[in-house]
A and B are shown apart, each in its own frame.
Chain A
């Protein structure tokens, strides 16, 4: 129990802060924090694949975006043919989009589609033993590809401008208050956090970590590495798709930005700065960077980006374990010293 308390102190503190936010923030603040929470969920999804399995995916927004687009399109189709389609003389909702007219169906698709794509990609890449740099390059190219698809198919995706005017917080057609939706998102975040911890502390998680640490060695112990990689990748895709969908009602707007390179690389930054392989680290990274960005980018936009780039370089050079990772290490060392000194007395 004591161990549990120690390991999750920071998480609990953060949870407390987030739970109290609606009480001291206005609607804008709650919405903003809600978006942060969604990105934290997304960061945890990437941590599973990168922090634990050691696979640096530079195109993870593909899964986030697929999930989000499913829901966003569904909302857009609720009142019949939307304007971005009508502009192209489309008078009827196309057949392949008909399933999206049902919001529950869209929700299911938003979970299934990213997972299936993750499976297909994972199957071809991991069974072929492609790894390391090549894997990252392929995911990078993939993000670019999906971004292009979203932009170039204006008739079906709203193109470069994305899908706008999405209704806030109807879940399954029923409207929801901002605060209620916020707590729903927070609850889901907690569930994802607990799930991630359970998964990575299980034997499965240990094997995944072994793959990161010494892939040939774990193969020599009889484990089918490709299967484990695919499985983690699919789970991560699933959670990312979920996050994408949660983002839609918070934001009211969804565009190719949410499926392409920009978000893919930012999520990597969150995880790297927060501390990979710790689950709460990436969540903290997502939270802090978005907080900073929000504070600074309005007043000093050019300065903020420069600062961000510099922070990334400094973290890589001097704090490779990220904020949380370094904190954990230092705290652990300090505690050990403290205990030694106490025993010495």
Chain B
């Protein structure tokens, strides 16, 4: 079943058509990579899905629920998690605090006031901290971590959040080839069974993780299919891949 579906999705900003009539769907458990030159509308599409921006036309359905125009926090609660391009952390809070607030299920005022860490929660936190290799830095302020550590902390927060649909917006920005490869492995292992959308430019990474690929161009769907097909598609080559693999 399709966990995510958009129909005729369009959004316009003061006359500029950022997205036009986009039909996009994602199967449950699928990992999709979205490609496209800058300005193609990839991040805009994510903004619409997560409720950051409201569309001017079209609908978005998540798990068969109409989430078009819903508030971000409500959509997040339904099970969509997003990781932004740069590290997007709570700088003046500790690693532990950053991780803790990511756990779902304690959103109401009452629950958060009288929250006590259960044994399971503590164990899960230990687990995640070990996975992201920050178990010795729990009281460090997020702002003091290295760039790579920050990215990993964000991954950890995603793990804690445990959403059904994960959106990764250029997760390997600023990473070395080794870190990039590790991230690919992480996505494969940790987010097994989850539905994932990845926006990326780094073709090496794309080749590592991708199966089906969607290509956007100027706010419209350009091509969609398996990676090999897309790489050989004339239109895509013309618009995007003809330049370097780091377009």
Contacts and interface: CB of A to CB of B under 8 A. Distances in A.
Do chains A and B directly touch (beta carbons under 8 Å) in the complex?
yes
Interface stretch (A64-72, A179-187, A217-225): A217-225
Contact of A228 (B91, B100, B102, B109): B109
Interface bracket on A: 20 to 34
A213 B89 CA distance: 8
Most A CB within 10 A of own CB, among B89, B90, B106, B113? B90
A299 interface: no
B104 interface: yes
Interface stretch (A24-32, A161-169, A200-208): A200-208
Given A204-B113, A207-B112, A222-B104, A214 B72 contact: no
A203 B118 CA distance: 13
B113 A209 contact: no
Contacts of A214: 88-91
A206 B89 contact: no
A199 B112 CA distance: 10
Contacts of A126: none
Interface residues of B, number: 30
Contacts of A227: 109
B204 interface: no
Given A210-B93, A227-B109, A203 B100 contact: yes
Contacts of B93: 206, 209-210, 213
Contact of A206 (B50, B76, B101): B101
Contacts of B77: 222
Nearest to A198: B113
B158 to A, nearest CB: 10
B50 A209 contact: no
Contacts, number: 78
B5 to A, nearest CB: 21
Contact of A202 (B52, B92, B113): B113
B76 A219 contact: yes
A44 B157 CA distance: 31
A210 B112 contact: no
A231 interface: yes
Given A220-B81, A225-B73, A231-B109, A207 B101 contact: yes
Contact of B90 (A199, A209, A219, A225): A209
B161 interface: yes
Contacts of A218: 90, 101
B124 to A, nearest CB: 15
A210 B90 contact: yes
Given A203-B100, A210-B101, A217 B89 contact: yes
A298 to B, nearest CB: 40
Given A202-B112, A206-B101, A224-B107, A213 B76 contact: no
A221 B102 contact: yes
Contacts of B16: none
B88 to A, nearest CB: 5
B97 interface: yes
A209 B112 CA distance: 13
Interface in B131-159: 157
B92 A213 contact: yes
B13 interface: no
Interface in B105-119: 106-107, 109, 112-115
Given A204-B113, A221-B157, 17 more contacts: A199-B113, A202-B113, A203-B106, A203-B113, A203-B115, A207-B112, A209-B90, A209-B92, A210-B101, A213-B91, A216-B52, A217-B88, A219-B71, A221-B104, A222-B104, A223-B107, A224-B107
The 7 closest A-B pairs by CB, nearest first: A203-B115, A213-B90, A222-B77, A222-B76, A204-B112, A203-B112, A219-B73
17 contacts: A202-B114, A203-B113, A204-B109, A207-B112, A209-B90, A210-B101, A213-B90, A213-B91, A216-B88, A217-B89, A220-B81, A220-B82, A221-B102, A221-B104, A221-B161, A222-B74, A223-B101
